[in-house]
Structures are given as structure tokens and as C-alpha cells.
Amino acid sequence: MEPQTLFDKIWDAHVVKSVEEGPDVLYIDRHYIHEVTSPQAFGGLRQRGAVVFRPERTTATADHNIPTTDQHLPIRDEVSRAQVETLAMNCQAAGIEHFGIGHPSNGIVHVTGPEMGYTLPGMTIVCGDSHTSTHGAFGTIAFGIGTSEVEMVLATQCIMQTKPARMRITINGSLNKGVTSKDLILYIISSISTGGATGYFVEFAGEAVRQLSMEARMTMCNMSIEMGARGGLIAPDEVTYNYLSEIPAFSESPMAQSLADKWHSLQTDAGAVFDKELHFDASDVPPMITYGTNPGMGMAIDGTIPDAAITDNTSSYNKSLDYMGFRPGMSLLGHPVDYVFLGSCTNGRIEDLRAFAAMVEGRKKAPDVTVLIVPGSQKVAREAEREGLADILRRAGFEMRQPGCSSCLAMNDDKIPPGKYAVSTSNRNFEGRQGPGARTILAGPLTAAAAAVTGRITDPRELMRICDF
């Protein structure tokens, strides 16, 4: 057999049928659903008299619409409450496992799945959410789907998909002190643009990727779609196995060892050919921030906003800067910040809270900044309390909220007011993404923490030099 990429191995093993000159019928191992895209899908099943084919392979959680305070009270917004309640009713009727608001396993769908041990190497995974690519960090083919496709998977456990091209992004070297995986992925996106991987499924590889923790890998794969990719994945290795071995649902399974042995074959073969190859050096990556209204408009935190000549669409570029209140040649260091958001399926895991807490320990929250610290799941919240991170945050003047998607897309009350600046660890900075008129600056957890204690955009390396973090 010819050498194969990891993507090809997983894809080919899940093809039920290939349509001549058309898409493949792909079997789906795990289907995640939430309250936003599933109600219409369940409604479609009822209209056709169909049922959920394999409910045991579907897992539901409420995340987008839930509040991050007073979760013991009824949701005030009628639309949000209706969506959350509809998800609960649909899951009960179909026999689907459901982590509703207040459930000990509730949280953002792309945080809860991995921490429950439901995301495993070699799987195909879908969800009616674009950042399903997060699960690719485990060596899976994971991608977001639309509402009609959610209905298709519920009814058949299969989906029709055209096989994408394959890209490998190799990152060698090591990240410097104060640089996170969020900075790395923002650097790559700014280098190749938000359309640089359109039509491809990306494998991240190389020395720097192997050095990343599982949570850092999830951040990388989470934002693979921000470069236009269908998804991203990383080959499983000892880091993957060690992470999973800490999860009782996996480690206590009688199949754990046999599965671990099988996963060693989930690597790209030597000599396998990709449709496109890109290479980066991790030591070149600085702490990053965005200055515009798409994730590709990123720069070094100590850099200056580039001129419109870098883009083919000058009017769109200028419109983006006008919206943000910035101009070419401007440095953003020292720029006042109104809000800081730590959370989302990109940076709402325990490692992100650890990094934020380590940076703010012994310091105080800047007086004029509103800081939203939102764990990605109830499990993350409990772990933050157990490790004393919540105490560190409280002593510094911060409050840890309850889990949910929160300010990532502001479908609850956690909105950034018009014209205000927010340093956000989420994945998108589109106009109005965090609220009408909100101005979003994407960054990693260390940069967010630095802004939270200084009240302005601050190079986290400067604070790290002071405290030797």
C-alpha cells in the first residue's frame, strides 16, 4: 500500500459508501449537540416520523444560551430559556445523554466531551458548531455541520461529505517564555490569512506541536477553521495517552490497553504526500494580539499595525480599522482596555485558568476594567476551586463565573457595550461578535491577565520579568 496521511487513514476507515463523482457517505462515531442548532433538527425528524438511530453515540450539553451567574434561577431571556428547555425535552424523548444547566458535567460542548473521555483517537466527530475542530487534537476527524446535517446524523449516524484536500503545517523549534499555543495559532493565521487553508484539512506536526499539552493542542485545532480549514488534527502520542489515562471513564475501561495499542498506528506514514506543506519556526512567534475584525489581522504585541498595502481589499481593511478606532502604524501597547474575557472553547480549560492566576497572583485587578473569568465546564470550575486558583483570583479582586460560552458570542447577558475594548481569549473578533459595537482584541490567557491587572494592553513578558513567572 502507498503511504497514507493520518487523515486518509481515519477517513477511509469510516467510508460506508462512495457516490460516483459525488460525496462519500461517512460514518460518525460521536455526535455532540447543543441547544442552538439541534431544535430544528429534532423538529425535522418528527415531521418525517423518524427517530434517533443511535442515541448512545450522541451527547448533549447546554452552553451557548445559558447565563454565567445565578444558574439556579430560571433563565430570564425567553428565547434562551426556550432553547435550553427544548434541548432537555428532545434528549429525554430520544434517550440521549444530556448535561443541562446545573448538571455536574455541564459546560461548553468542546470542553466537556474531551474531559469525559468521549473524544478518542481515530474517531469521526461532528457537531452543529464550527469549532468542533477542537477534538482533532486527539487525532480525530472532527468538523462542524449545519442544522440539516445534524438531522441527517441523528437519523442515520452518517453524513455525506466531499473529501477535502490535505495540508500539513510543521512547526519546529520551541516556543519562547511567555508565548502560548494561542499566540502560535494567531501567528500562523496572520501569516497565511483567514482563507489560507480553505478546502484543506490540516495536520499540525513538528517538534513544537509534540511539546504542547493536550489542552494547548485543543486551542490550536480549535482555531484551525479561522484559517479557512475544514478542520485540524494532531497525531496521538504519549501526551494524548497520558491525558486520557487520567479520565476514569477511559482508564477503567477493559478496552483501554487494546485501544492504546491500536492508536500507535494512527500516524502519518513516512513518505505520505500532502496537497500542501507549510513550515514555521516556533522561536519566531511572539505574544500576539489582533487589531482588526477577523482573526487574520494579527500582529506581535509590541509591533505596529501594518499598512493597508498588505491586503488586496484596501476599503475593507480601512473599514475594519475605523470600526476598531485604530490606524496604520499605530502601536497598541498601553492602549486602554475596558473588558477582559477569559474563557470559551478556545481558552476556558484548567490550564488557561492556571496561567491567568499565576500572572495575577500578588497583584490587583485594574480598577476600571470589567473582567469575566468563565470556566469552560463545571469540572474546570471545581478543579479551579480545588487547586486554590479561585482563591488567588478572589484575592486579586476577580470573580470566577459559572460555566458557559459567555462573551465569546454574547448570546447571553455577557455582552461588551458599544465602543468598548475587550481583550478576549475567544476565537473570533468579527464586528458585533461580543455585542453590538463591541471592539474585540484576541489574545492568549497571559496577555489577557496582563491587561486585567494593568488596565491596558501590556506585553505579558514585562510582568513575567518582574515576578520571574
pLDDT of residue 310: 65
φ and ψ at residue 63, rounded to 5 degrees = -145, -45
The pLDDT, as a whole number, for residue 317 is: 94
- How does DSSP classify residue 193? -
Residue 467 has φ and ψ, to the nearest 5°, of: -100, 0
Q: Which residues, in sequence order, are CB contacts of 322 under 8 Å at separation 6+?
A: none
Strand segments (E) across 234-338: 276-281, 288-290, 298-300
Q: How far is CA 371 from the centre of its chain?
A: 20
pLDDT computed for residue 249 by the predictor: 85
178 DSSP assignment: T
CATH hierarchy code of domain 165-230+267-284: 3.40.1060.10
Which of 123, 73, 109 lies closest to 233, judged by CA?
123
Q: 6-162+238-246 adopts what CATH topology?
A: Aconitase; domain 3 (3.30.499)
The CA–CA distances, whole Å, from 434 to 84, 157, 367, 419, 442 equal 21, 34, 22, 11, 11
Q: In whole angstroms, how far apart are CA 391 and each of 142, 172, 388, 408, 418?
A: 36, 37, 5, 25, 32
Q: What separation in angstroms does the CA of 99 have from each of 23, 116, 441?
A: 33, 11, 31
Burial of 82 by CB count in 10 Å (0-12 exposed, 13-18 middle, 19+ buried)?
middle
Which CATH class, in words, describes the domain spanning 289-467?
Answer: alpha beta
Any idea where the domains of the chain sit in the sequence? 6-162+238-246, 165-230+267-284, 289-467
The rounded distance, in Å, linking the Cα atoms of 306 and 437 is: 23
What was the pLDDT predicted at 410?
A: 87
Category of 254 on φ-ψ map: left (φ > 0), alpha (ψ -120 to 50) or beta: alpha
Residues (pLDDT < 70) of the chain are 309-312, 466-469
- Residue 403 half-sphere exposure toward CB, CA atoms < 13 A: 33
Structural contact between residues 58 and 33, judged by C-beta atoms closer than 8 angstroms: yes
Distances (CA, A) of 428 to 66, 132, 271: 20, 15, 36
Domains 6-162+238-246 and 289-467 share a fold: yes
